[in-house]
Structure formats: C-alpha cells, structure tokens
Copies of this chain bind each other. A is one copy, B any other.
Amino acid sequence: MPLPQTEMPGRLQALFSERGIRMTQQRRAILQVMETATKHLDAAHLLRKAKRLDPSVDRSTVYRTLQLLKRHGLIDELDLMHIHGEGHYYERKLNRDHIHMACLRCGKIMEFVSDIFDKLKGQVEKDCRFRIVVSRLEIGGYCASCSK
C-alpha cells in the first residue's frame, strides 16, 4: 500500500512549529505570501511580495526558505514549460497532486486532477517497486481558445 503522496492541508506556519522548525519574522513573511498566493510564484516574485510584508527579507533568505520547504515536502517546484524564462515556480502542496498544463500560445496555466494520474502513480510504485516521494506532470500545448 503506497504512503499518501501529499501533505495534509494546514497553515504552513502551524506545520513549522509542529516540526520544531524555528520561526523568524522573515520566514513568516515568506510563508504568508506562499499561503495567500493565487498563482504560481517564482523566486523573484516571492521576494518582491515578501519584501512588502517585511522589507528586510533578502533574496538568499527566500532561496534558503524554499529549500527548507522543499526538503519538508511542503511545496512543489515546477517549470511550467519555462514559459517565462529559465526559473522555477513554487506552489503550496495540498491534499491531492495535480497536473499542470501550460498554453504555449497565451501562456495560461491550467490545473487538472485525475484519478488516472493516481492510478498511474500506483502502477509505478507497484511495477517498478519505486517509492514515490514527489511527482510532477507538466504538459505544454494549446488550450481550447488558442487551438480553435
């Protein structure tokens, strides 16, 4: 039986103290941005938004906090087909994994949850005897409006 792939939802700050991770003013700002973000953020955007909450936040603290969050499996790192440059995007990991689709024409990002995706991961765990920690399915192509 595979372990659950994702974290329970909950406030990142609460998860930090549960795990005994030290909370700082800067981390609080960064976590708050991650929690309230409505779209996928790259490191530069995250920095800019966190600076609004706490101007002392430095770029390196953003990167160090992102590493911390990744290590704890609290966020996912995405490429989104590098639609805007070579950097990465980050999102809060929620209950259920989802697929990301990026429209190569209009740049829109769509998300999609699928039982078949879960089934596929189950197959990989079973057939390859591979214990999945993190998975990422990203698709590039043309959305309904752009392929009309």
Contact = CB atoms under 8 A, between A and B. Distances in A.
Contact of A127 (B112, B124, B130): B112
A135 B140 contact: yes
A147 interface: yes
Contact of A130 (B81, B130, B133, B144): B144
Interface stretch (A7-15, A18-26, A51-59, A114-122): A114-122
Given A99-B124, A120-B114, A135 B137 contact: yes
Contacts of A117: 120
Contacts of A136: 136-139
A142 B130 CA distance: 6
A8 to B, nearest CB: 20
Given A79-B79, A124-B101, A135-B138, A129 B116 contact: no
A69 interface: no
A61 interface: no
Nearest to A134: B140
Interface of A: 79, 81, 99, 101, 103-104, 110, 112, 114, 116-117, 119-121, 123-124, 127-144, 147
